[in-house]
Chain A
Amino acid sequence: MTLPLSWLISFSLALFAIGVFGVVARRNLIFMLISIEIMLNAVALLFVAGATMHPGSDGQIIYLLILAMAAAEIAIGLALVITMFRRWHSLDIDILSKMRG
């Protein structure tokens, strides 16, 4: 009773694709961050699945680190979201176009 690796990889990629869709299609910052989280989760799943090919628990170690990184990133991201909301009272990303030119 084995799980084909291809299934796992396809599932992970499907989740990643959904995350990509969310990042590109949504204008609300919170939803974009949520979609990025989904992508991160998908990639972490991919790592763990790939690590089961090799003996040892290295996959779970890497999963831990990915987790830590995701946490750190979300913390800062949400702080920035709060700052933006305080300034513009809206979470529309199109307001952040000051970098034109």
Chain B
Amino acid sequence: MLESLLLLIPALPLFGALTLLCLRLPRQVATCIALSSIGLSALAVLFIQWQTASDFTPIKASWGSWLTVDTFELNFTFYLDGLSLMMISIICGVGWLIHIFSAAFMATDQGHQRFFAYLNLFVAAMLVLVLADNLLLLYLGWEGVGLCSYLLIGFWHTKRANNIAANKAFIMTRVGDTAMLIGLLLLFWQFGSLNIEHINQQAAQLPSNGELVNLSCLLLFIGAAGKSAQFPLQNWLPDAMAGPTPVSALIHAATMVTAGIYLIARHASLFASALEVLNIIAIVGTITLLLGASAAMVQSDLKRILAYSTISQLGYMFLALGVGANAAASFHLMTHAFFKALLFLAAGALIHCLAHQHNIYKMGGLLKKMPIVSVAFIIGCAALSALPMLSGFFSKELILSHVIEQGHHWLWLGGVLGGFCTAFYSARLILLVFFGPVQQVPDRPIPKLMSVVMACLILLSLLGGILPASIALQFPASTPQLSLLTHYLPIASPFLAITLAYVCWRRGVFTAPITSPFRKNFHQVLLDGWRFDSLYNTLFVRPYFSLTRINRHDIIDTFYRAIETMMVALHRLSSSTQNGSLRLYNASIILFVVVGVAWLILTGGAT
């Protein structure tokens, strides 16, 4: 019973996607199909959760066999355990809410059916990724979500900037994907199988820090870093905001970017035996969280703030994974999905009602005008800043306590600093958008559907931390003994940041023009996301273009054209002997005789 449900869960969105891609349907029917496919999957997940609440044994089910080579078998097998159950709950639950939101958001758009088709396809691919039993099926899902991300970012494809952003996202994640594929092959070489359980079991028996295991874990991590926008592959995410806001909410906040974290959490035993790689993961996570948080402090585009915020929060999750706190990382993943989706959807509603205005400096005083959006933003930002008793609070504190428990002082300090910056930019965002003088008035009311969805997500952000937190606090290893400073500093720093932001806002620091050139430069660097775009431009794009300029006349083609030219020259040479001149013919006969006799003499053929 549960097995067939498990098979149905990824199949329903896939079927919905295919229907929407192939048939031309009226608007209502298309929406209905899209929403119902995800809704039914969500119901199935709920049912499974209810059934397995008491005791949970992993469930396995299969769509069929994929390839069989000699003794190596690979099937479309799905595997459900605690981690993947949590993931599919998020995917189907939050995904369904976002689908409902999109029904209202894309109500007047021309490509309505295409949008839902891609969205359904994305959910199907993500489910395949999460439920996959073996690495190749996971990679299939991985590629699928990359494809759907590309399709959805460039959804409004008539605008060139959107296409460029979609290309950027796809190409940068591709770099990660290639590394991951190599890692996958190395794992297969090492362990003889691509089955995740198998690999985890075998890895636990190996001595730690084996070279091949280290290398393959590093490559898998690079793949995860590409997908989850970590340093140095992080600058595609801010540009990916060119897509419709529900896309940003679903893909770039709640689900796709969490695929990397899921990958590492899944291979817990494998990564546990690659300690150097775990160190690298932790360091990269810290760098990324500081990078994202600092860049978010100066952005003017509403969605870009949220994008950098996502990068920063993903850094937290990787930091947790790097210190071995997988449960904390997954917990933060869940809470982040809630409040980030809420923030993005609220931003979407805001942009929708302000006639596609993205600049926060042009907004203000919307607290009274758009109450539900304001509440959504305030609750979401509060959860983001890890204010006490909200969902984000529990998960972030868990991560930081694990970090300091392992003794990584600098990483912990980075985490606290990141928390400070997070609270700062969240407060800045709220103060600039919702308080102060009114600059632009919303020209239409918020659709009912959007409000309902936001209300659901508000509830989840408020309460979603409590139940799992109580479970998490029961883990024996996870209640570390913390000193007073390390316990209370992370709790107090958001409040300090909010106070600072209020003071700056009051003094008008945010809107005042910057005079000193040093600050101006620094401001610009942060605004450009630490200039990674121009770095990659110089490192990769410009050399490539100069190579193409050198090869303008196609060096390889020149070789073939040289052959052709030589042939033509030979042809001209030999056809010049056919000039009809009888003297030449005579002479050539005699010449041939002379040469022939000479050859005979020289080779001694005529004695």
**Known: A20-B590, A23-B590, A24-B587. Is A100-B579 also a contact (CB below 8 A)?**
yes
Bound-state CA distance A38–B598 (Å) is 23
Contact check, B580 vs A97: say whether CB atoms are below 8 A apart: yes
Q: Please provide the chain A residues from 1 to 32 with a CB less than 8 Å away from any CB of chain B in the complex.
A: 20, 23-24, 27
- Interface residue B574 (Cβ < 8 Å from any Cβ of A): no
A-B contact count (CB 8 A): 28
In the assembled complex, the Cα of A30 lies from the Cα of B581 at a distance in Å of: 17
Q: Is B583's CB within 8 Å of the partner chain A? A: yes
A53 to chain B, nearest CB (A): 19
Residue among B575, B579, B580, B583 making CB contact with A24, cutoff 8 Å? B583
Asked if A23 contacts B580 (CB within 8 A), the reply is no
Chain A residues, CB < 8 A from B582: 93, 96-97
Does A76 interact with chain B (Cβ within 8 Å)?
Answer: no
Bound: A32/B586 CA distance, A: 10
User: In angstroms, how far is the closest chain B Cβ from the Cβ of A25?
Assistant: 9
Do the beta carbons of B590 and A97 come within 8 Å of each other?
no
- Can you spell out 12 A-B residue pairs with CB atoms less than 8 angstroms apart? A93-B582, A93-B583, A94-B583, A96-B580, A97-B580, A97-B581, A97-B582, A100-B578, A100-B579, A100-B580, A100-B581, A101-B575
A residues less than 8 Å from B581 (CB atoms): 94, 97, 100
Q: Which residues from 84 to 101 on chain A have a C-beta closer than 8 Å to any C-beta of chain B?
A: 93-94, 96-101
B580 touches A101 (CB 8 A): yes
How close is B57's CB to chain A, nearest CB, in angstroms?
90
Docked complex Cα distance between A76 and B147 (Å): 87
What's the least CB distance linking B584 to chain A, in Å? 9
B578: A residues at CB distance < 8 A: 100-101
Chain B residues numbered 442-497 whose CB sits less than 8 Å from any CB in chain A:
none
Closest to B594 in A: A20
Q: Please tell me which one of the listed residues A20, A27, A98 contacts residue B580 in the complex, with CB atoms under 8 A apart.
A: A98
CB distance from B571 to the nearest CB of A (A): 13
Complex interface: chain B residues within 8 A of A23 (CB): 586, 590
Return chain B residues, CB-CB under 8 Å to A94. 581, 583
Classify the secondary structure of A's interface with B: loop
Q: How far is the CA of A37 from the CA of B534 in the complex (A)?
A: 89
Known: A93-B582, A99-B580, A100-B579. 6 other contacts (CB 8 A): A20-B590, A24-B586, A27-B583, A97-B581, A97-B582, A100-B578
In the bound complex, what is the Cα–Cα distance between A88 and B575 (angstroms)? 27
Greatest chain A CB density within 10 A among B579, B582, B587 is at B582
Kindly provide the distance from the CB of A96 to the nearest chain B CB, expressed in whole angstroms: 5
Question: B303 to chain A: closest CB distance in Å?
Answer: 74
Q: Which residue of A lies closest to B591 (CB)?
A: A24
Interface centre among B583, B587, B590 (most CB of A within 10 A): B583
* Least Cβ–Cβ distance between B92 and chain A, in angstroms: 80
Q: Can you list, as one digit per residue, whether each of B574-607 has a CB less than 8 Å from chain A (1) or not (0)?
A: 0100111111001100100000000000000000
**CB interface residues, B 267-285, toward A, < 8 Å:** none
Residue numbers in A under 8 Å from B587 (CB-CB): 24
Q: How far is the CA of A27 from the CA of B586 in the complex (A)?
A: 11
Return the 7 tightest CB-CB contacts between A and B, nearest first: A100-B580, A97-B580, A99-B580, A100-B579, A24-B587, A93-B582, A97-B581
On chain A, the residues within 8 Å of B583 by CB distance are 24, 27, 93-94
Please give me the residue from chain B that is nearest to A27 by CB atom: B583
CB distance from A17 to the nearest CB of B (A): 10
Tell me the smallest distance from the CB of A33 to a CB of chain B, in Å.
12
CB contacts (< 8 Å) of A27 on chain B: these are 583
**For window 551-575 of chain B, which residues contact chain A by CB distance below 8 Å?**
575
B-side contacts of A96, CB under 8 Å: 580, 582
Please measure, in the bound complex, the distance between the C-alpha atom of A20 and the C-alpha atom of B582, giving whole angstroms. Answer: 14
**Closest partner residue, chain B, to A98 (CB atom):** B580
| A94–B579 CA distance with the chains assembled, in angstroms | 10
Q: Mark B477-521, 1 if CB is under 8 A from A, else 0.
A: 000000000000000000000000000000000000000000000
CA distance A101 to B578 in the complex (A): 5
In the assembly, what is the distance between CA of A20 and CA of B580, in Å? 20
Q: How far is the CA of A92 from the CA of B575 in the complex (A)?
A: 23
Q: List residues of A (25-77) whose CB comes within 8 Å of B's CBs.
A: 27
Task: Report the Cα distance A67→B578, complex, angstroms.
Answer: 34
- CB B264 to nearest CB in A, in angstroms, measures 76
Taking CB as reference atom, which chain A residue is nearest B593? A20
In Å, the complex CA distance between A27 and B587 comes to: 12
Cα–Cα, bound, A101→B574 (Å): 10
CB distance from A90 to the nearest CB of B (A): 14
